[in-house]
A and B are shown apart, each in its own frame.
Chain A
Amino acid sequence: MKRDPIDTSTASRPLAGQAIERIEDLRFLRGEGQYLDDLTLPHMLHAVVVRSSLAHGTLRSIDATAALALPGVHAVITARDIGIPVPRIPMRLDVLDELHAYEQPVIAEHKVRYVGEPIAVVLADSPALAEDGADQLIVDIEPLPVVTTRGGEAPALLFEDTGRNLAVTLRAVRGEVDAIFRAAPYTRREHFSVQRHAAMPMEPRGLLAFWNAEASHLTILGACKVPHANRRVLAGQLGLPEAAIDMQENDVGGGFGARGEFYPEDYLIAFAARHARRPVKWVEDRREHLLATNHARDAECDLEIACTREGHILALRGHAHTDLGAYIRTNGVTPSRNIAQVCCGPYRIEHVQIDVSVHMTNKTPVGTYRGPGRFETDFFRERLLDIVAADLGLDRVAFRRANLVRSTDMPWSLPVVMPWGGGSECDSGDYASTLAHALREFDWDAKRALDGQLIDGRYHGIAIGCYLEGGASGPREGARLRLHDDGRVGVYVGSSSIGQGLETVFTQIACDALDIAPEDIAGIFHGSTRYVNEGFGAYSSRSTVMGGSAVVVVAAPFKEHIRAAAAPLLGCAPDQVSLARAIASGPHGETVSFRQIAEHRAQRAEPVQAEGHFASNRRTYSYGAHATHVAVDPGTGRVEVIDYVAVEDVGRIINPATLHGQALGAIVQGLGGVFLEHLVHDEHGQLLTASFADYLLPGACDFPNIRVFALEEHPSPNNPLGAKGAGEGGIIPVGGVIANAVASALRPLNVGIHELPLSPAKLWASIADVRHESAGTAS
């Protein structure tokens, strides 16, 4: 992929499609970014959230006397100060009525249900003093039996009123699975699991809230992802009109799905600011992040396939179980729903039935993390396909190719997920061509010879897998274009940045839509409730597609307004005005610049601006194939990723450099999830991996050999840009592809791979087990 960066002043038109250097980089590289903890306000207090040290228990009492006696400690806030019952945090996505009972109170009232659940907030003059205060708090919790696993006789109920720890069972369905299975010439059933891990952005969460008592107005800094939705929730909880709250995004140190959801602290810090009548800042530390911010994954599945002996897939059925932790948070059951819905991936499987049972346990709640549910379900499916291919003696590539959805099948519907009903369709694409592309780049035919070979003490294996990436969640996204007084155009969008180059990409889109240069843009204003009336934010790979399309849509009426404003200056009718390069020209060649138009307008009250939105409930589906070559050391269980090739068709590429970066970053995150990252709890529900020394993230030496190729062969028909979501694709197939390569390498030893992570210790143990067994049978 071409990705030499281009200086905007010399760039040709259109800007979309070029690797424009990022606008954000200047401030970040000079240490001038403004992340939440970089902000201070006069008279600011610092908050520390006191959290439950037990996974399950009855909250008997909280004695704050000693804490309040410390100099510098101003207040201790508990559920009582807020008023019991305290507000619950509502589901934002995939809402189901029967799940309301599992929603999280903003602070523990009578019970605690996971280690890390907020029970009090201490406000003090400095973070250190607030910590001192927290240490002095005497909290009495009577322990209850702890639920850490599903199934069997549960030792306790998390929610007595519901009478069960199994919150709901979802079902994705199409066709007549059972009949097909009864008549199938071949079936195979396997059990797979993916461990609990998490998004883990490098900047921990943080908030800075201040209350203007005179104006009854609350401002929250540190918002991101979905500020409009969060404002609606907070306004309801605090009994304020939405207009009395502003939420502002600052520079954001990574989100990946976890940051910016409405967490307990989003209420508590706002409440504290109003309570104390002073600005209140809270910044999470890393241990707290590991305990309090959404966890992810944690799913297992019994998956069964029916096919002909020639490799025609007839049906897929299965039952997955997800561990959602102690509460159902804003994301509802999205990851579980996705496991069911995209279980077939890009394959043409007519008969499907996948049940997903969602279980509550005394652990940190689970939310969305890049490729939610998709990473898990792709691992289950792709692993099963390779097991079947090996069993039936089929070529793995031909088996996949023969079962891919064909371009003539488009639009291809995904299975319907109950109890919601309603469907979603793959919009366009040629899945076989990305597969062919990946095979070519990877040089599959040459590398096949290595598969299963023992070379210099290591077993080599290769694998390939195909996937779909759903993007562009509806329903709509807003944008506003405004001519500033200096003649530059302000671009106001409802999208949010989570650190992936939104300002640059939107500059490219706006410049092309308005035929102006990047210097003519006053700024990309995003992530604030002040900028547009309605915004939906950054999730599900939707920022560029939905927000970018909104800019394109609003550009037309904006240009009309400019023409109308220019017409009297040019002495002609608006429809005689033409616009190019921030200049309006009349029919006889006379011109006025945007600046002159703005100056003229500044004398009148109303600015030249247009606001509107792009609406679509049709999702886009990017797709692709990944291939890898690994070497496994049977003596240590260590796997080296020798080559990793990723090919994805994203419909339309706005900035090849940022896109390439997202894909690369996502793949390495995926590899972290495959090999390293594991949130481990003991039987008491205590998190054993509560620091970066125990929760391992990929480092610079781990995965140096990754090659990414982005294609734009099939633009989406569902939006004016033709773009499809592109933020998550990189991570989705990683588990399946790597596990298949490792299994293929270890085929001579007959080691079955059914679980992630493939940590050296676990892999070494599986190899040792098999060797032990075969030694046993031999003797």
Chain B
Amino acid sequence: MQVKLEVNGKSCEATVEARTTLADCLRHELMLTGTHVGCEHGVCGACTVIVDGAAVRSCLMLAVQAVGHSVVTVEGISLPEGLTDLQASFRRNHALQCGFCTPGMLTTAHALLTHEPDASEERIRDVLSGNLCRCTGYIPIVQAVLEAREAYRPKS
């Protein structure tokens, strides 16, 4: 079937089956391959995208369920060139190695800091605990998100 989705601020059309997950639709229909799939059962968080402002596992959501909602992927929180403050903080802190979990970490952190720019270290850890990373040991990721908070605070 044909569905109309709003992804990264643009309206797009995709042909999906009823069983197609949002992750597969984003990756293979809309060619937004920044969203990764690590488990397809809702545990690893690599597929995290932002739906109406909330971090959501796109492997647990069907593409048809996203109709009428706004979907933002890692591509949507990136600039046309260079790195955002959050991304730069990840780079500075060596918060990624293989990079496979990174898009999910970025979308999760972005959704968190957008709502809670003053999130404590404990809160950040807690929210990131839904995303698995096999390379970094998490410490640099938590540090990167902590340091990125400044960029999300309203400029006085």
Contact = CB atoms under 8 A, between A and B. Distances in A.
Interface of A: 3, 5, 19, 21-22, 24-35, 37-38, 40, 128, 200-204, 251-254, 256, 285-286, 498-501, 657-658, 660-662, 664-665, 667-669, 691-693, 697-701, 703-704, 706
Contacts of A19: 94
A499 B134 CA distance: 11
Contacts of A661: 94, 97, 135-137, 140
B102 A664 contact: no
Contacts of A501: 97
Contacts of B139: 664, 704, 706
Given A5-B94, A202-B46, A499-B97, A700 B135 contact: no
A698 B102 CA distance: 16
A254 B44 CA distance: 14
A499 B135 contact: yes
A35 B17 CA distance: 25
A203 B36 contact: yes
Contacts of B130: 699
Contacts of A657: 94
Contacts of A703: 137-138
A699 B129 contact: yes
A27 B99 CA distance: 9
8 shortest A-B CB distances, which residue pairs?
A31-B34, A499-B98, A28-B99, A253-B100, A668-B137, A692-B43, A31-B74, A38-B33
Nearest to A501: B97
A252 B134 CA distance: 13
A692 B57 CA distance: 15
B94 A202 contact: no
Contact residues of A: prevailing secondary structure: loop
Contact residues of B: prevailing secondary structure: loop
B128 interface: yes
A31 B39 contact: no
Nearest to A256: B134
B34 A30 contact: yes
Nearest to B133: A202
A347 B55 CA distance: 51
A204 B134 CA distance: 12
B155 interface: no
Contacts of B92: 5, 21
Nearest to A661: B94
A47 to B, nearest CB: 15
Given A661-B140, A704-B139, A24 B128 contact: no
A669 B98 CA distance: 15
Nearest to A201: B134
A30 B83 contact: yes
A202 B137 contact: no
B58 interface: no
A593 B134 CA distance: 44
A499 B94 CA distance: 13
Contacts of B91: 5, 21-22, 25-26, 29
B37 A37 contact: yes
B99 A700 contact: no
Contacts of B100: 33, 35, 201-203, 253-254, 499
Among A28, A200, A201, A667, residue most surrounded by chain B Cβ atoms (within 10 Å): A28
Contact of A286 (B41, B94, B125): B41
B78 interface: yes
A32 B74 CA distance: 9
A104 to B, nearest CB: 26
Nearest to B37: A37
A520 B45 CA distance: 38
Interface string B114-125: 000000000001
A254 B97 CA distance: 8
Among A29, A37, A40, A498, residue most surrounded by chain B Cβ atoms (within 10 Å): A29
A485 B44 CA distance: 44
Given A5-B91, A700-B126, 8 more contacts: A5-B93, A29-B90, A286-B38, A286-B41, A658-B94, A660-B94, A661-B140, A697-B134
Contacts of A252: 98
B98 A500 contact: yes
Contacts of B75: 30-31
24 contacts: A21-B92, A25-B99, A29-B90, A30-B34, A30-B78, A30-B87, A31-B74, A31-B103, A37-B37, A38-B27, A202-B135, A498-B98, A499-B97, A501-B97, A664-B139, A665-B134, A665-B135, A665-B136, A693-B43, A698-B137, A699-B132, A700-B142, A701-B126, A701-B129
Contacts of A22: 91, 94, 96
A663 to B, nearest CB: 9
A662 B137 CA distance: 9
Contacts of B97: 254, 499-501, 658, 661-662, 665
